[in-house]
Amino acid sequence: MTTTSTLRPRQRPPISARDLSSMQNERTKAMRDAGEAAVVEAFKGVTDDGKVTPGLFALRRTGVSTLPIKAAAEAFLACLDEAGRNAATFRVESDAWRRWSNVHMFLMRHGALLEKLRDDQREKGLELLRQTLSPAGYETARGIMKLNETLRELTGSDLEYGDWLYWVSVLGTPSEETPWGWQMDGHHLIINCFVLGDQVVATPMFMGSEPTVGPSGSKYAGVHVFDEEDRRGLALAQSLTPAQRSKAVISETMPDEIYAAAFRDNFEMRREGFCLTEASAGQRELATRLIDAYVGRLRAGHAQAWLAEAQAHLDETYFAWIGGTGDEDVFYYRVHSPVILIEFEHLRGVALANDVPTRDHIHTVVRTPNGNDYGKDLLRQHHQRSGH
């Protein structure tokens, strides 16, 4: 196991994760200004070319109850005092959905901060995670939070890191029929969960970590994240023939960051790489398993519905790759179709002092292209049907 002595923190001035304090710098201010500018743009969604493909998403019955998620949200709100509920609740049409960021510093956090809650209240907030996610998805989310505490230990920066520096918001009124949702926002962990009837849209979902394994000697030694996302992506890349690989590799240079991160709600990204129409049956199974590593973060039933939606568009799905294909190599990949966008990347250190990408820092994101991040296309159809 990695030891704490081999993970060296980068020396730099700390920046507050809790508020817009005097510790903020010009870079942070510029990031916040850019975020504000992005949020006020009319929402379109991730597209190939700026044009939304219509008719991809429909109001329907899934047959999978959302009552456990509703009950968890109601219990969380009920355990807060009036001021806490006011801080944690927003209209379902609120732009609070779009005010998330994966960076550690405070830009525009909102909701109830878990760190400030009593243990019983915090447990109610975690219950929203449990009822929305699968056991594996919950373990990953909690692993990210725990490794943010490991980062506090490694850097000694209480100002910037900790396992409870995550904000929870409820948008709309939890309901069996009318639209509502909830959001968790914090360093390396953003979950947006839109609920309408028994349908769930859980994107954008950003999950990352630095480090990715709790080193020996730390509070959470042995905690690890993203093993399946790493291994299944690499297995698909290693299965490619030379001709297929020549199509899949889209660059020789790793990007500085995944493309569809915070404030990229209207990002234009053409589908490129290796199209699964050219894949063998075995490769299509590997691609399906890779997609399932991400959609399987959702609770049973809703995960299967999401996977079926992705499978219906496998012939329009592209796999793109940058980096090596050895078992210890670093790489970037994405899976991109009209209804799902997945990105994964090994990155250089931010809090840690490695200037080249390593396996100690990973970012992933899942988006629903063509206007249905945050369930916005379903919300549009609901309002259209109900006469709003």
The pLDDT of residue 362 is 98
User: 5 pLDDT exceeds 70?
Assistant: no
Give the integer Cα–Cα distance in Å for 347 and 270. 23
User: 178 pLDDT exceeds 70?
Assistant: yes
The pLDDT of residue 4 is 52
The pLDDT of residue 312 is 98
The pLDDT of residue 26 is 86
Residue-wise pLDDT for 105-137, tens only, equals 999 999 999 999 999 999 999 999 999 999 999
The pLDDT of residue 12 is 87
User: 3 pLDDT exceeds 80?
Assistant: no
Cα angle: 184, vertex 187, 193; to 5 degrees: 20
Contact between residue 293 and residue 232 where contact means Cβ atoms under 8 Å apart = yes
User: 357 pLDDT exceeds 80?
Assistant: yes
Q: Helix 302-311 crosses helix 281-295 at what angle (to 10 degrees)? A: 140
Residue-wise pLDDT for 39-98, tens only, equals 999 999 999 999 999 999 999 999 999 999 999 999 999 999 999 999 999 999 999 999
User: 200 pLDDT exceeds 60?
Assistant: yes
Give the integer Cα–Cα distance in Å for 78 and 91. 17
Greater confidence, 3 or 384?
A: 384
pTM over 0.85: yes
Residues 6+ apart with CB under 8 A from 335: 287, 290, 291, 317, 318, 319, 341, 342
Domain ranges for the chain: 1-19+37-388
The pLDDT of residue 388 is 66
User: 23 pLDDT exceeds 80?
Assistant: no
User: 6 pLDDT exceeds 80?
Assistant: no
The pLDDT of residue 21 is 81
Whole-number average pLDDT of the chain? 96
Residue type, 161: Y
Mean local confidence (pLDDT), 312-337: 98
The pLDDT of residue 187 is 98
Mean local confidence (pLDDT), 160-165: 98
Contact between residue 337 and residue 310 where contact means Cβ atoms under 8 Å apart = yes
Greater confidence, 12 or 388?
A: 12
Contact between residue 17 and residue 167 where contact means Cβ atoms under 8 Å apart = no
Give the integer Cα–Cα distance in Å for 178 and 196. 6
Residue-wise pLDDT for 258-313, tens only, equals 999 999 999 999 999 999 999 999 999 999 999 999 999 999 999 999 999 999 99
Which stretch of 1-5, 130-134, 197-201, 319-323 has the lowest confidence by average pLDDT? 1-5
User: 2 pLDDT exceeds 80?
Assistant: no
Confidence of residue 25 (pLDDT cuts 50, 70, 90): confident
